[in-house]
Amino acid sequence: MHHAHIDKFSFMDSPVHRLDSRVKLLVALVFTAMVISLPGTSPGILACYAIGPFTILVLGKIPLRFAFKQVLLVSPFVLVLALSCPLYDKTPVMAAFGPWLGRITVGWMRCFTIIAKFIVTMLALMALVSTTRFSDLLAALQRLGVPKVLIVQLGFLYRYIFVLIDSAHHILRARESRRLRNLGFKAELKIAASMLGSLFIRSIDTAYRINLAMQGRGFDGKWRSLSKLQIRSCDVFFALTAVSFMLALQFFIKPVLQ
């Protein structure tokens, strides 16, 4: 079965793809932290921050449509939170966005800021995962001191989530092919519980067989890896440019609320 992989463009080649994964990961983390720490009333500066991930996506030849589609896929969770803000705070304020000036409530201002922060940070995340192979991200995390157990777990999650999704699809299809009438909520719930149980048992079986495969290849509980990460001058240049960009934006912050 074919899945819509979030990292399907990470196997391409571009100057951004060739950058060291540790540098990209650290820049993405600092960028996200800075965006999140911006005051809740500064959409103007957020628009400037968006230039960062856009530049990376364009230089990495990642289709913007793809990036926005991924952002849209996870947006409902944030939209619920954001759209509840206008209900709680209806204090009127005057807001300026560049040359435009208008009356707005603090709640709406917060709503726009949450959505803007979400879009900018998600675009930064998409820029990272679309230009960095997952194996390199794991290697970067390992080199940055993340516990190996966590990295192994992440590796297995990435490898087997698709196998698990396939299994779930097969079970659902088998159920659908024999579902000739609606059995009512209670019966359907019981069937769903059985399907989940079946999926759980399959996962345990798979884990057992993976363990056999690992032991068969000499695994003794110690995780070893061949890491080929190397910081080059272009990585230093990228890191300096990114930091300068973020510092410049921080320096020029002007609260939108007047």
Q: Where along the sequence are the contacts to another protein (CB under 8 A)?
A: 3, 5, 11, 133-135, 138, 155-156, 158-160, 162-163, 206, 209-210, 212-220, 224-226
- In terms of CB distance, is 90 or 170 closer to another protein? 170
Closer by beta carbon to another protein, 73 or else 157: 157
**Residue with Cβ nearer another protein (10 or 121):** 10
Angle at 22 between CA 21 and CA 23, to 5 degrees: 90
Per-residue 3-state assignment (H helix, E strand, C coil) for 11-44: CCCCCCCCCCHHHHHHHHHHHHHHHHCCCCCCHH
Minimum distance of another protein from residue 96's CB (angstroms): 48
Burial tier of 28 (Cβ tally within 10 Å: 0-12, 13-18, 19+): buried
Do 3 and 162 meet the contact criterion of CB atoms below 8 Å apart?
A: yes
Q: Report the distance separating Cα 186 and Cα 143, nearest Å.
A: 50
Q: Which is nearer to another protein, 70 or 132 (CB)?
A: 132
Query: CA Rg, the chain, in Å?
Result: 23
Closest by Cα among 102, 136, 57, 126 to 256: 102
Smallest distance from another protein to CB 2, Å = 10
Q: What is the smallest separation between the CB atom of 102 and another protein, expressed in angstroms?
A: 49
Minimum CB–partner distance for residue 13 and another protein (Å): 11
Q: How far is the CB of 44 from another protein (least distance, A)?
A: 40
Tokens 């024999």 sit on residue: 178
Closer by beta carbon to another protein, 92 or else 218: 218
Residue 174 beta carbon to another protein: minimum distance, rounded to whole angstroms:
17
Beta-carbon contacts of residue 249 (< 8 Å; ≥ 6 apart): 34, 45, 48, 49
The answer to whether 139 and 229 have CB atoms below 8 angstroms apart is: yes
In the complex with another protein, the residue whose CB is nearer, 8 or 90, is: 8
Instruction: Give the Cα separation of 161 and 171 in Å (integer).
Output: 15
